[in-house]
Structure 1
Amino acid sequence: MAATGGLMFGYDIGISGGVTSMPSFLKEFFPTVYKKIHEPGLAESNYCKYDNKGLQLFTSSLYLAALTATMFASTSTRKIGRRITMLIAGIFFIVGTVLNAAATNLAMLIVGRLLLGCGVGFANQAVPVFLSEIAPTRIRAALDILFQLNVTIGILFANIINYFTAQIKVVDTPNSLIERSHLDEGKKVLKKIRGIDNVEPEFNELVEASEMAKEVKHPFRNLLMRKNRPSLVIAILLQVFQQLTGSNAIMFYAPVFFNTLGFAGDTSLYSAVITGAVNVLSTIVSISLVDKLGRRILLLEAGVQMLISQLVIAVVLGLEASRNNC
């Protein structure tokens, strides 16, 4: 249930690329782009036709808001708990969705996207922490990937939340409850999620870890200590290089990419669906293998696969761009 926090993130990635290739959407909110695409006699290529600052603002505003919201979500996750932070993300998603659905001009559309971005920032901060802390050790890696699985499902589908999910009560993690001195409640939740009554060893470890964490007066300063720098640098660079590959841009603009390569309107959307389906299936394969092979093996394999795929995409798009002289 908690992992479904990734659905809206994936939905926002998948839906934007689709609507920006739809004539009705462009005509309503980006008439200049619509005119370039549909006005007869214009010799511009599709690359040039989609070059519009308003359209770029529409797509990037979500990520700008997500980046900013993450700064606040870090404190929220620590101070008021993972569960409350996820609920805050849900509120942002609901308000942003309603505003976007009711949008009559570009300003309302941008504000809605900003609110959705805040939801992304809070969800992406709290959900992975929640999953890693609540999961049994033997399947922790697989459960962590459930968030990514939901992101890929969100890219593939625009799901409506079922009414009955409101009847499911989501508890906070034992770690978060213990951090906030709710020891009895933390032990109760630990018994519930482990399915056994004898949780004393794990509970005592959590309490001890919480006490040790409270003794750290300057956590960010300690993070920068020499002994912690290698792990810190690796963690940061992994995320940086993942973004620099441009894979998100390809998923985000998939229908537009296929359109620029000569696919017709419906065919470009259909091709994007195939890409999204492969994305989901690949994530399912990762879930089944990560606890057996380990994170490092999958990371190295994915890096090689990504390199080859991106080189092919770069060559194809480069040839197309040079041919259009855009």
Structure 2
Amino acid sequence: MPAFVINNHGGDTPDFDGEITFYVIVCVFLTAFGGLMFGYDLGISGGVTAMDDFLKEFFKEVYEKKQHVHENNYCKYDNHVLQLFTSSLYIAALLASFVASKVCTQMGRKPTMQIASLFFIIGVGLQAGSVSIEMIVCGRITLGIGVGFANQAVPLFLSELAPAKMRGALNICFQLFITIGIFVAGIINYFTSDIHPHGWRISLSLAMVPAVILLCGSLTICETPTSLIERRNFIKGKATLKKIRGTDNVTAEFESIVNASETARQIKNPFSTLLKPSSRPPLIIAILLQVFQQFTGINAIMFYAPVFFQTVGFGNNASLLSTVITGLVNVFSTLVSIYMVDRVGRRILLLEACVQMFLTQTVIGLILLTDLKPTGSWNHAEALIVVILVCVFVMGFAWSWGPLGWLIPSEIFPLEIRTTGFAFAVSSNMLFTFIIAQAFLSMLCHMRAGIFFFFAVWILVMGLLTHFFLPETKGVPIDAMVEKVWKQHWFWKRYMVDVDDEVIKEQVHPHVKYVKYGF
């Protein structure tokens, strides 16, 4: 196969040589524990906030309100400080993601994951050993810094490590491990809820396990070729590329990465570059995907699933068991996405899921509006129907907006603004996760069943915008997105104002470049 260079101003998109090696599989498995770390926290926090021992320790007012059998079904958990326990992590992750962006660029993806692990381990210790609400919120903030670093580094690592034809499936392993973390957390909460009075401490402390695995794993894996070349370690970058592709025939891909890297080096201020017209399409899409991911209502369900199932008539243990069931559905549905994403593409999965999630949110809202009054309770048959509908909703999310909300932003930015652009995506995700986590219980109290119609309207909007404005990125090499995606899209191509080709050629001419660096 002849070697030739991809650039952002013309040329064909090559089918780079290489295969999925065992070493790549090991790297993907170890780094995906960053997703399990995040998912475990998502799942564990909602279960812990439903445990009486935890509420008696830190939220006596909520515990007492919960004991009143005639208390409003929709409002018995409405407490801003309780919501702050869950949501404080995400505002910390928002701020940390921008620092993580700089670390990712200057130090690499591996050190960023190591920093994430250390912050997470410290945060777990503070949470599990908490004796005051201030201490536990401090632990949540420290965890949030770890989440911000991990969510910045891991998806980028997976996208840069994977060959184009398998990038979707490998990147979705991050989301798969998030769902596994949620599922494992549900099982642990189910058993620790009967361990009095410190079962909640066991649940929180076990979050250290995936953090330790990520830390140890990140010490043994390679850095991505893109990161090495970006930091001008050309020899090691090419050697790593040969290792992960399982072939010596990597010249075309190597030159593509070098070309993109040298172009990126001309950008002195990536934040200002993001404001240029040509950067708007990937930035807008990346941010909207994060906003829409949260406004499906998924995190409202995942954060507070045990609380929600208690609200609709299940007892404490039964509600935790129902959460385990939805977690299992989440895991297996994400496997569907891994199988389908590089076969049918991103758009069709997102659009199908919009229909599925819109219908389930609407029907759940109608059932609650009709049958769940502010006081009283449901029979188990009605509650079981809601659980089934929640599972169908989770299915749709798990094979679409969940994994693709992380995959697409990690693959659509050119290298010169990749870490900065993805930092905006991560921070947008954390911001709106914070908003939903902080507001959901109050929204449930005041909007009652209307909250599900609220999310259904958002799903309708996101489906329409996906249909008209989201381009397909299946099979496109990560450094060819400008030419093969944005310049070809009916709407976004108007923003892709060509840079001065002559200036680029003078600054990043392949022959000059290789003589200078000894290639």
TM-score, normalization by structure 2:
0.59
The alpha-carbon deviation at position 319 of structure 1 amounts to 4.5
Partner residue, 2:289: 238
Equivalent residues in 2 for 1:34-45, closer than 5 Å: 34-38=63-67, 43-45=70-72
Question: Gaps spanning 5+ residues in structure 2: where?
Answer: 1-29, 186-205, 376-444, 447-519
Superposition pairs of residues 1-326 of structure 1, within 5 angstroms: 1-38=30-67, 43-158=70-185, 160-161=209-210, 166=216, 169-319=220-370, 323-324=374-375
The Cα shift of 1:317 comes to 4.1
Bigger fraction of residues in helix: 1
> Contact (CA 8 Å) 1:47, 1:321: kept in 2 or not?
no
8 Å CA contact retained: 1:82, 1:130: yes
Whether the aligned pair in 2 keeps the contact of 1:37 and 1:46 (CA below 8 Å) is: no
Q: Deviations over 1:133-155 (max 9, x none)?
A: 00011111101111100110110
Q: Is the 8 A contact 2:117 2:212 kept in 1?
A: no
Q: Comparing 81-90 with 161-170, which one deviates more in the overlay?
A: 161-170
Structure 1 residues 46 and 309, CA gap change in structure 2 (3 angstroms):
same
Scaled by the length of structure 1, what TM-score is found? 0.93
5+ unaligned residues in a row in structure 1: which ranges? none
What per-residue deviation string (whole Å, max 9, x for no partner) do you get for residues 177-235 of structure 1?
A: 11111112212211211122332222122111100111233433333333443443233
* Contact 2:34 2:211 (C-alpha < 8 Å) held by counterparts: no
Aligned equivalents of 1:91, 1:164: Cα separation in 2:
11
In 2: Cα distance, 1:313 partner to 1:115 partner:
36
Q: Against the structure 1 CA distance between its residues 182 and 77, is the aligned structure 2 distance closer, same or farther, given a 3 Å change threshold?
A: same
Deviations 1:277-299, CA, capped at 9 Å, x for gaps: 11111100000011100011111
Distance 1:68 1:322, change over 3 A: farther
CA distance in 2, matches of 1:65, 1:321: 36
Aligned length: 324
Matching residue's letter, 1:210:
S
Cα distance in 2 between the residues matched to 1:121 and 1:22: 27
Cα separation, 2, equivalents of 1:126 and 1:250 = 26
State the secondary structure of the residue aligned to 1:92: helix
CA distance in 2, matches of 1:128, 1:150: 12
**Stretch moving more, 125-134 or 96-105:** 96-105
Q: Secondary structure at the match of 1:217?
A: coil
